[in-house]
Structures are given as structure tokens and as C-alpha cells.
Amino acid sequence: MSDLLRVENLTTWLATESGIITAVDDVSFSVRPGRALALVGESGSGKSMTCSSIMRLLPASGHIAGGRVLFEGEDLLAKSPAEMEAIRGRKIGMIVQDPMTSLNPLFDVEDQVGEVFRYHLGDRSRRARRPKVLDVLSRVQIPAAEKRLGSYPHEFSGGMRQRVAIALNIACAPKLLIADEPTTALDVTVQQQILALLRDLQRETGMAIILVTHDLHTVQRFCDEVAIMYAGRIVEQGPVAEIFARPAHPYTEGLLRALPQLGGQEDRLPLIPGQPPSLASLPAGCRFAPRCRRATDLCRTEYPDWMATAGETRRSACWYADEVLG
Amino acid sequence: MSAFLSVRDLRKTFPVSRGLFGKPELLHAVAGVSFDVPAGTTFGLVGESGSGKTTIAKMVMAADEPTSGGIVIDGSDIATHGKAERFAFRRLLQPVLQDPYSALSPRMRVDRIIDEPLRIHRTYSSKAARAERVAYLLDAVGLPASAAQRYPNEMSGGQRQRVAIARALALEPRLLVLDEPVSALDVSIQAQILNLLRDLQDRLGLTFLLISHDLAVIGFMSTQVGVLYLGRFVEVGSKETILSDARHPYTLALIASAVPEADAAPVTGEIPSPLSPPSGCVFHTRCPVATDRCRQEVPSLRQLKPNHLVACHFAETTRKETRNA
């Protein structure tokens, strides 16, 4: 199947107090219809900035310095702002961590969900919109949707609010849904419900999903492919099952080990020493080298080029990927 | 072994007014919780938002007064403390909170932050002795001596949490209340802080009351685990029992959410409002195996085997049934 979205060498600059930093550095990946890709990384790794760049929703201090974002074969970076408006919410949906920030506190649910139909599909009559609004609310499994049409966001629980935000974003049957930490602010049991809902919707509609998360359990449970980001770059990508079973980058390896395992009897967690570098003062060579137990002089001077590992589907940016694979 | 921290039938009720002239309703945030923490061990409280775990921590820290029930720390009932005892008590117990950024003054240099409790409690006679103690503490939490000259905003989240731990240790406390100590941190940093806390516990013989929503963190750190739901325990037991032989459907659901390959039935719905808790078993509205009996009869927290308490009518059979549900 051909790619729905192909990001090629995306590079985004961000103006900060400590100068211009490269928040997204030469990032490439692709997503196919019906598949879920996880963008994983710690804070500051550039995963959210990558999504904002795709959506062209960067803060004023951000600037896309290079690359292409091909969506259905067309470069989103070449679109006019008006063309992007027509794509956002219709062909590409986006949900964020805190639905309170994406929902308008002054409008009831019917108005907010109905607005999507008015804006993108030109449904002018409120009465004609109502069945569509009810339909999409029932698809995100909001119980007794007819009774909740007049409710305002603050009257919903966190989980229900996230369902409303999902409803807004799937109302026009988008081809791609970008979910930026959609469950981080929710309780554990509710997280599972929201992820199950997203998977059901994906099965139903065949949309592609990019899931941004720092939670490796969620990746393992929910996604097909994973791209692991470190200090603005993708360090490893490929099928989730293969990478979790046999990581090919020392950072991935370290992350998987550092995760406390339920029922594990270890006294201490094997850990990655140190902390991620500041994007304002990156080390020469591999950015992970200062924390890597395998680092050599080569790593400290030269950034590893992309190398295919373990077949065509996987890539790791490590000089010693084959050794890490073991 | 006698308990260092002992909590008996602890309750906290908040009046919540409905409208300006409405009669206040009672919100039972903590509805009768008892547990013991022997010295040098960790008791893990796990639960979702609204389960009452932070309210319990606040009462243990004497930052909030219980509606009823007792808290005994190191043999002394904290409700009977006068002003002087309360002051001394602060040296015994220190909190480490979730967000080290809001817990540290942005205007104070790190050495002053750590030095402050020493100055207030006048534990050292000379400035030099205090400085030595600050240097020792920085080293103990794995920070370089140069960190003393920095401000919190120049540090990363993990380093800030280390500063908060150093300050908590300044007065040589014996009990740390750890309220979500790593939830704001990245995975690779979480592991560093968790290891540090265990090192410090071994070295200094500290007792921990750990609060987290993350069962994996609770499992790694704890000796004993209590699972809270709507202000009461649904299950209490040793870490090993809770992780490998849990019987309450809610505990099983929490475990399922932390293990990718778990096969327990998913829990439906969300935590009900503590203003109007469900009849019978408070969990029945979300339980995959609830029956009529659960809707009417409140299950008591009963002992299934030594050091394993479960509040479920069907504790003997839940493990099999939730899998088939």
C-alpha cells in the first residue's frame, strides 16, 4: 500500500532565549492508511514539534527550515494558509493532551461539534446538523448523547471531554488523526478506554494515526510502527514488535530496560546515566554518545548515517547497530 | 516489628455547598483507612484521581486535620501535638512532591534552599558546619558541588527533584512522604530518581509512604501496597501478593493497564463522584463481574490469607472470572 503521509527531511527551527535551536532535525518517516505510528521521545526530543510542523501550527518563534510533508502526494508545506484551513479538521484531525485547551468553554457540545459540519461541509441549518452531531457523539461512545447536547465542556469529566475532542476531529472522516499525548492527563483505566476507542474508530474508518507519547506500554499495545526521537532526531524506527523485542539503538535499549516491570524483582533499575543534551549546545557526533556505554571516538566525532538493520523495514542511527542487535 | 507509622480508621469529610443557600453535602474523601508501615519499609498507596491518596498524605503530614481516626508516628499521636511538638515533628517527616519546580523557590540559590531548614531548626551551631552539611547532601543525592551555586530554573526536572530530596533530607528525617515523586519526569530520569530513593532508604534506614498512580513504580519501590478506590481500600497486601495474586477486579484492571499482554476484562466507565458513592460495593458500577449482591451489600475488607485483605464478595473466584468476562 502506498504512503498516506510521507515526511522527508523535515527540519524546524525554534527561536529561544539561548538562540536558534533545531527542534526537529532532518526527520523522515511515513504512515500508511489504517496503520498507527508512534512518535516516542522524552520532553524536548521534538516529537510534538514534528506534529505542529506537519499541521503548520508552529508557534510564532518556529520556522520550518526545510524538507517536505507529502500528504496524499501533495506537499503541505507548499499550501496557502487558506488551503491548510480546509485540510485541518477535515482531512487531518488532531487531538491534544488537555481537551480543555481545544474546546471552547463558551459553547455547548452541539454547537462545537456542529461547527465542524458547518465549516467543512457547509451544513447551514442547525436542525439538519443535529442527527450528524448525535451520530458522531454516539460513535465516540458518549452515553445518552441526546441529553448532553446542551452541556458545556466543564460539565464533562476528563475522559468524556477527550471523547468530545475526538468527535470533533473524526466528524469529517479524516484520513489521518494526529494524537499528541491524548491520554496523559487521564486516569489509567480511562486511558485504556480512550485507546480502545481510537483503535475501534481506526478499524471502522481505516484512518491512519500518529500517536505522540512518552509511554512505552501504550506504544506496545496500540501501535504498528514506532519512531524513537532523541534531541530532535529520529534514532530508531521500524515495526513495534521487532524493536521492542530487539532494539538496534542503545537509547531504545536503555529506555526499555529503565522501565520498571510489574513483578520484576530487581533491586535497582538499569539506567541511562546523565540527561538529554540541551538543544542549544549539542555535542559533536552522535547526540546520545555522552550517555552511551558503547560510545567510541567515532561516535563522539561523527553523526551516524542512517543504516538499514535487520531487513529493510528497520533503521537505526547507530554506528554499532548490529552489535546492539546482538 | 512495631510500626513506625500507624494509621487507624482515618476519615476525612469535606462539606461541599450547593449554590449560595444550598445545604452543604458531605464529600467523603477518605472513608475509613487503616494501615501500618514498619520502620525502613515502603508502603505504596495506588489509586486514580479522587481516590483520596493525596488527602491521606496531607493528613499524615499534619497539613490537614482528619475528621476522625488516628495517626501515630514513632509512637506519638499527632493529633495531641502542641506547638513545640509539632515543630519537632517536622524534623521527623518530610515531603517530596510531584512538581519540584513549584516546590522550590525560583529566587533562592540551591545551597540556600537546602540550608533553609537547617537555619530554621538551628541544628548546626556554625555557618561552616551547615555548609558542610549542604555539601554532604548534594553529594548524597548525586549532584555535583557546583550545583550549589545555581538556581532551580537553570536545572532540569530530574536535577530539581534531586534538590527537593536533598532539602527533605537536610534535617535527618525518618519518614518521607513521596507524593508522585517521578510522574513529572521522563522515563530515563524516573529510573535514576527511583534508584536514588532506594539507595537512600537502604543507607539511612528511611521509611517511605509512597503515593503513585503508576503500579509499576509502586511495585518497584514498595514492601506493602494498598489499592485505594473512592477513599477506601479495596485491596491491601505485600507487593508480591498484589502483583501476582491480586483478587479485587479493580486491582486486576490496574495491573492489566500496566502489562501489555494482560488479559483481564477492561473496566468500563469512570470513577463515580464521591459526593454520591454507589450503593453496595463502591466499585460495582464499573466491575466486569458485579452481581445483585454487589449492588446491595457493602463488602467488608476481609482477610483472605495472612497479610492479604480484599473488599470483594467474590475474592476467591475473581481471577478466573475477570478473564472469562
Q: How confident is the model over B120-132, as pLDDT tens digits? A: 988 888 899 999 9
Give strand pairing partners of A308: A315
Number of domains in chain B: 2
Residue B290 domain flag = yes
Question: Amino acid identity, residue A47?
Answer: K
pLDDT of residue B122: 85
Q: What is the CATH number of the domain that holds B86?
A: 3.40.50.300
Q: Which domain holds residue B71?
A: 3-222
Cβ contacts (< 8 Å) between B188 and chain A: which residues? 42, 254-255, 258, 271-272, 275-276
Distance from CA of A214 to the nearest CA of B (A): 8
Please tell me whether residues B208 and B308 are part of one structural domain. Answer: no
State whether B216 and A259 contact (CB < 8 Å): yes
Q: What local confidence, expressed as pLDDT, does residue B275 receive?
A: 83
Q: Write out chain A's pLDDT in tens, 326 residues.
A: 589 999 999 999 999 888 899 999 999 999 999 999 999 998 889 999 999 999 999 999 999 999 999 999 999 999 999 999 999 999 999 998 888 888 999 999 999 999 999 999 988 899 999 999 999 999 999 988 888 999 999 888 888 999 999 999 999 999 999 999 998 888 888 888 899 999 999 999 999 999 999 888 889 889 999 999 999 999 999 999 999 999 999 999 999 988 887 767 678 888 888 888 888 888 889 999 999 999 999 999 998 877 666 667 899 999 998 888 87
**Residues of chain A found within 8 Å of residue B222, distances taken between Cβ atoms:** none
Q: Which residue of B has its CA nearest to A42?
A: B186
- Quick check: B101 pLDDT over 80? no
Please write the tens of the pLDDT for every residue from B27-58.
Answer: 889 999 999 999 999 999 999 888 899 999 99
> Do B55 and B113 share a domain, yes or no?
yes
Exposed e or buried b for every residue in A294-305, given b needs 16+ CB within 10 A?
ebeeebeeebbe
Among B178, B203, B222, the domain boundary falls at B222
Say whether both B315 and B167 belong to one domain.
no
DSSP 3-state of B305: strand
Same domain, B51 and B174: yes
On whether both B218 and B264 belong to a single domain, the answer is no
pLDDT of residue B265: 61
Percentage, residues of chain B above pLDDT 90: 64
Q: Does A255 sit within 8 Å of B188, measured CB to CB?
A: yes
Q: Do A189 and B48 touch (CB under 8 A)?
A: yes
Residues 184-203 of A with CB under 8 A from B: 187-193, 196
Whether pLDDT at B264 is above 70: no
Say if residue B175 is in the same domain as residue B309: no
The answer to whether B257 contacts A191, with C-beta atoms less than 8 Å apart, is yes
Q: What is the pLDDT of residue B263?
A: 55
Given this model, what pLDDT does residue B230 score?
93
- Residue B1: its pLDDT value, please? 52
Whether B247 is covered by a domain: the verdict is: no
Residue of B nearest to A274 (CA): B189
Position B243 in a domain: no
Q: How far is B87 from chain A (nearest CA, A)?
A: 35
Shortest CA gap A251–chain B (Å): 9
A284: left (phi over 0), alpha (psi -120 to 50) or beta: beta
Distances (CA, A) of B273 to A109, A149, B50, B231, B232: 22, 21, 8, 11, 14
In the predicted model, what is the mean pLDDT of residues B79-108?
Answer: 87
CA–CA dist B158, B53 (Å, integer):
24
Where does a domain end: B176, B200, B222? B222
pLDDT at B322 over 70: no
Q: Which of B184, B202, B222 is where one domain is finished? A: B222
> What is the chain A residue with the closest CA to B220?
A260
Q: Are residues B261 and B141 part of one domain? A: no
**Domain shared by B27 and B132, yes or no:** yes
Residue B319: CB atoms within 10 Å: 14
Q: How close B143 comes to chain A (CA, Å)?
A: 11
Asked whether residue B95 falls in the same domain as residue B139, the answer is: yes
Domain contains B242: no
A-interface mutation test, from B155, B188, B241, B261, most A Cβ less than 10 A away: B188
Of B191, B243, B286, the CB nearest to A262: B243
Residues B54 and B188 in one domain: yes
Give the model's pLDDT for residue A289: 94
Please indicate if any CB of chain B lies within 8 Å of the CB of A293. no
With a threshold of 0.90, tell me whether the complex ipTM lies above it. Answer: no
A54 residue type, one letter = I
Residue B62 shares a structural domain with residue B137: yes
Same structural domain, B211 and B257 = no
Model confidence at B321, pLDDT cuts 50, 70, 90, reads low
Confidence of residue B183 (pLDDT cuts 50, 70, 90): confident
Whether B325 shows a pLDDT value over 60: the answer reads no
Q: Which residues of B touch A220 (CB under 8 A)?
A: 260
Smallest CA–CA distance, residue B5 to chain A, in Å, is: 24
